[in-house]
Amino acid sequence: MAEDEMTQAENEISDAENVNEEAAAPVDETAHEIAHAHIPSDTTDVLGITLPFPIYTAVFVILAVLTVIEVVVGTGSSGAVIAIILAAIAFGKAYLVVSYYMHLRTDNRLFTYTLVFPLIVGILGILWLILVAPEAGGVE
Amino acid sequence: MATITAPLDRPLEGKRPHINEYLRWSVDHKIIGVQYMVTALFFFIVGGALAMMIRAELLTPALDVAASGQQFNTIFSMHGTIMIFGWIIPMMAGFGNYFVPLQLGAKDMAFPWLNAFAFWLIPPAGMLLILSWFIGPIEAGWTAYPPLSTLFSGDGQTLAALSLHLLGISSILGAINFIVTIKNMRPPGMGYFQMPLFTWTILATALIIVLATPFLAGALTLLILDRIGGTKFFDAANGGDVLLWQNVFWFYSHPAVYIMVLPGMGILSEVLAVHSRKSIFGYKLVALSSLGIALIGFTVWAHHMFTSLTPELRIPFMITSMIIAVPTGIKVFSWLATIWMGKIRFTAAMLFGLGFLSMFVIGGISGVMLATLPFDIHVHDTYFVVSHLHFVLFGGAVFAIYAGIYHWFPKVTGRMLDERLGRLHFFITYVSFFLTFFPMNFAGMLGMPRRVAVYDPKFQTLNVIISIAGFVLGVSTFILFYNMFDSLRHGKKASANPWRALTLEWATSSPPPSTNFIEDPVPMSDPYGYGTTEAEAYLYGQEQQFGPLKPAHFEAALLAAASDDSDPLPEGAGD
Amino acid sequence: MAQLVETHGHTHDHESPQAKAENLKFAMWLYLASEVIIFSILIAAFAIFRVRQPEMVDEAREALSISFVSVNTFVLLASSWAMVMGLLAIQKGNNESMVRWIGLTGVLGLTFVLLQLVEYQELRHEGIALYSETAGRFGQRFYPLTAFHGAHVIVGVIWAFIVMFKGIKRQYSPTNYIGIEIFGLYWHFVDVVWIILFTMIYLI
């Protein structure tokens, strides 16, 4: 549920970003040099409404909201489903930071691979270590 | 090949940097490369001395040379750790530092300051490692398995772990530098598939280092915490798990085997092609097989743990371990096809190249034998394993380093090594190496365990043979050291390109000027296109620029070789 | 756009600021790649424990204050936001604004570290030490992981203040802000790690 919310928000943001990209089209030579940095504009368009702050602030608000949702979902209840939802939200937040704050959406694709490949290696490593770990922890 | 044709007023001659340049902070990759190599050679002597002590102890079945079993444990632990982390890995990093920018026609690495920083982590790390000898025994072998390393070893183990931490940071920083350099600093006209194969293997190695070394760092952090923080990560009696260490350690250390061997394979590709005047057979496959080895290397770690792993998990690792022989096999067959029908010059570099080829194949085959589960369980922890790893690391990596030294010494110093001494060095090393490590196979099959000072007297004959050959092997190393010291002053002057090679490190004076190249070099479209008219024109142009390709005695035969219609250089004609 | 790509593609000058910036960013990503691996080992050490001995974690969680840590998480998220706003400011040429934002980043990072120390203090009072027989083995999985992250935050705070002082000396400009961008990559990565750690240690 929370995840859906997130992806929805995300799509809107990416739409907004596309618009901004055109708005920030380079005009002179110096702008040419740095244009690949994709400087977002000072406003964010969400659902047709223009909000008076940049996309980064919008992402921050979403991150904060997701954190609140996480805490609400996570405290008190537990179980496999809850754990999966929480993990999904956490990865969603990480995705937002990585793609917007660390600019992976617009930067060199190679950087994405540089992050994703070790991530796969690391996650497989963690899963393996959990798999082979002994059931009970020795002498209590 | 436009740039080479314009002759300059005077031949470009770089001057050898003053010795003080090597003793202080320098951001020149050539200085740093030599700093790496000299540091590594120092550790080679230390590790070698320890090996001699091991062999002296094993001359008799009783405990005599070492004061106690603990001391013997310390000796072989230090031997392994120093040889791997102090000798082979820094030596390969040294070759990489010196030759990768040159082969790319670049002025320096992408981050010269970082490069120097990475090197200067090594001396303190080495000091910590050697200091650990005096602080308290490291008794767990280079693998540092707990509980040996947590409950039974002295404080030296903590120091060694800290030292490995530093060395790990050093190699990660170095590897990042290599990757960025290779990706972004290639000259126009050099795509990935026009890169020299040595640079390719350094790229693959650097990728492994970035991904695998942090595993060791993580494991060492937990180990240090267990040793000084009072935690119980690896203490099975208190909820810990010794297999956690074994798994994470081999996550790193199996790929680390390729960190040590891959650059050697790269050196071999260079040496075999240049000294047999032939193009590399199947260049693309050789290049890609390096990446293949890097990738598959991450999936085989558990074959080191066949005896400690849950039985049902063994078979998959047996299969992956055998699969990794495929890219290695591609390389071996490519090398064979490369020298096939070539105009082979039996220079010392070439001899060591062939030595690598023959010995590494033996090591590879015993590796596949060990990957076979039923056999592995039989010879697990015996001298068979010791034999295998020395065939791979000495017969592989170290022979490649020797080949690299003979091949590139003229470039680094501007002087040729004495070929006759080089050949002597080769023959003694080759024979004594084989007699040292091959009989270990028999000892292992008969059941002699590794890492023991006291053994069953029935193994004594074998051990005496091994020890005597081992001593000869140890002494033979000094032929190389003598050769290097002597040639520095009295060696024949080397020209820019004494071997008439086509890769870019030879397209500048020997030693190269501090900016590496006076004008931007233009790479050959095929770095191994020996015998083609394009290559001939290229070498001719180089001669116009740098003067005749000294030393003179090579000249006639080599010119003939390049013009593709004469006999190979007869053995001995070089002197 | 097409023209841009073209000029970029034809640049072979390794010395150009653009090429150097690209090199630095790639190097930073490679460094972060190795950080991913080292964190994954420490995370694994915790995750094994969570999966194999869940009752011990549940027990220890009673001592942890979720609301306190949530505030701290919010602080770190805010510092990440301040960081990226600082980058935006310098891209738009507003140096003063950039200095303020980066300064805020550093202050928020510092707050995070101090609050974490307060949390450690609380836990110590609850009897959760790095290792103790009685309080179970939560401490040895918890402290190294969070402290290793905390060390990264401390490095980041120092770096933030360095960037701030360089900003005061006007060493950055709309065409030269790679130093800030590199720091940003590091800082956001530390933030991402905390996002994962927070959920894993305190919630799941």
At residue C56, the 3 state secondary structure works out as helix
* pLDDT value of residue B115: 95
Tell me which amino acid residue B298 is: F
Residue B556 has pLDDT above 80, yes or no: no
Identify all chain B residues contacting C21, using CB atoms and an 8 Å cutoff: none
Q: Which of A74, A90, A136 is nearest to C54 (CA)?
A: A136
Give the model confidence (pLDDT) of B566-575 as tens digits.
Answer: 444 444 433 3
Whether the bond into B511 is cis, omega within 30 of 0: yes
DSSP 3-state percent helix, strand, coil across chain C (nearest 5): 80, 0, 20
* pLDDT value of residue B63: 92
Structure tokens at B128: 């910590």
Give the model confidence (pLDDT) of B457-516 as tens digits.
Answer: 999 999 999 999 999 999 999 999 999 999 999 998 888 888 889 999 999 988 999 888
Give the angle B93-B98-B103 at the CA atoms, nearest 5°: 115
Give the model confidence (pLDDT) of C150-188 as tens digits.
Answer: 999 999 999 999 999 999 999 999 989 999 999 999 999
* pLDDT value of residue B533: 86
Distance from CA of B101 to the nearest CA of C (A): 12
Structure tokens at A8: 């929805």
Identify all chain A residues contacting B237, using CB atoms and an 8 Å cutoff: 138-139
Report CB contact under 8 Å: C131, B106.
no
Taking one residue from A and the other from C, the number of pairs with CB-CB distance under 8 angstroms is: 148
The CA R_g of chain A, rounded to the nearest whole Å, is 20
Burial class (CB in 10 A: 0-12, 13-18, 19+), C125: exposed
Sign of CA dihedral C37, C38, C41, C42: negative
Whether the bond into B101 is cis, omega within 30 of 0: no
Give the mean pLDDT of chain B. Answer: 89
Identify all chain B residues contacting A133, using CB atoms and an 8 Å cutoff: 241, 243-244
* pLDDT value of residue C135: 55
- Say which of A82, A98, A134 has its CB closest to residue C192: A98
- Alpha helices (runs of H) in B60-111, residue ranges in sequence order: 69-81, 89-103
Position of tokens 């350094």?
A: B202
Pair B275, B344: CB distance under 8 Å: yes
Report CB contact under 8 Å: B240, A117.
no
Mutate one of C11, C16, C24, C30 to test the B interface: name it (highest B CB count within 10 A).
C30
Please state the domain extents for chain C.
Answer: 20-203
Report CB contact under 8 Å: C52, A71.
no
* pLDDT value of residue C147: 94
Distance from CA of C36 to the nearest CA of A (A): 6
Identify all chain C residues contacting B248, using CB atoms and an 8 Å cutoff: 41, 44
Residue B3 has pLDDT above 70, yes or no: no
Identify all chain C residues contacting A125, using CB atoms and an 8 Å cutoff: 37, 40-41, 44
Phi-psi category of B21—alpha, beta or left, where left has phi over 0 and alpha has psi -120 to 50? alpha
* pLDDT value of residue B125: 95
DSSP B103-130: HTT-SS-S-HHHHHHHHHTHHHHHHHHH
Q: Which of B206, B171, B347, B205 is nearest to B272 (CA)?
A: B347
Mutate one of C37, C53, C133, C137 to test the B interface: name it (highest B CB count within 10 A).
C37
Structure tokens at C115: 């609050």
Q: Which of C118, C117, C100 is nearest to C153 (CA)?
A: C117
DSSP 3-state percent helix, strand, coil across chain A (nearest 5): 70, 5, 25
- Say which of C29, C83, C184 has its CB closest to residue A115: C29
Structure tokens at B29: 């990759």
DSSP 3-state percent helix, strand, coil across chain B (nearest 5): 70, 0, 30
Please state the domain extents for chain A.
Answer: 2-108
Residue C1 has pLDDT above 50, yes or no: no
Distance from CA of A11 to the nearest CA of C (A): 20
Given a cut of 50, the residues of chain A with pLDDT beneath it are 1-36, 137-140
Q: Mean pLDDT across the stretch C74-93?
A: 94
Give the model confidence (pLDDT) of B402-458 as tens digits.
Answer: 999 999 999 999 999 999 999 999 999 999 999 999 999 999 999 999 999 999 999
Q: Does C181 touch chain B (CB under 8 A)?
A: no
Q: Which of A122, B122, B258 is nearest to C32 (CA)?
A: A122
* pLDDT value of residue B193: 93
Query: If you measure CA to CA, which chain C residue comes closest to B213?
Result: C34
Q: Which CATH class is domain B25-562?
A: mainly alpha
Report CB contact under 8 Å: A30, C175.
yes
Distance from CA of B246 to the nearest CA of A (A): 11
Q: Does B240 touch chain A (CB under 8 A)?
A: yes
H or E segment and range at residue A49: strand A49-51
Residue C10 has pLDDT above 80, yes or no: no
Pair B115, B109: CB distance under 8 Å: yes
- Say which of A35, A56, A111 has its CB closest to residue C25: A111
Give the model confidence (pLDDT) of B45-60 as tens digits.
Answer: 999 999 999 999 999 9
CATH number of C20-203: 1.20.120.80
Pair B436, B470: CB distance under 8 Å: yes
Q: Which chains touch A (3 or more CB pairs under 8 A)?
A: B, C
The CA R_g of chain B, rounded to the nearest whole Å, is 24
Give the model confidence (pLDDT) of A18-58 as tens digits.
Answer: 444 444 444 443 444 444 456 777 777 777 777 778 889 99
Give the model confidence (pLDDT) of B128-164 as tens digits.
Answer: 999 998 888 888 889 999 988 988 888 889 999 999 9
Residue B307 CA, chain-centre distance (Å), reads 29
Phi-psi category of B3—alpha, beta or left, where left has phi over 0 and alpha has psi -120 to 50? alpha
Strands A44-46 and A49-51: antiparallel
Report CB contact under 8 Å: A125, B251.
yes
Task: Report the range of poorest mean pLDDT among B183-187, B215-219, B357-361, C48-52.
Answer: C48-52
At residue B64, the 3 state secondary structure works out as coil
Q: Mean pLDDT across the stretch B265-274?
A: 95
Distance from CA of B78 to the nearest CA of A (A): 29
Distance from CA of C51 to the nearest CA of B (A): 14
Q: Residues 6 or more apart from B562 whose CB is under 8 A from it?
A: B277, B500, B530, B531, B535, B536, B539
Report CB contact under 8 Å: C203, A86.
yes
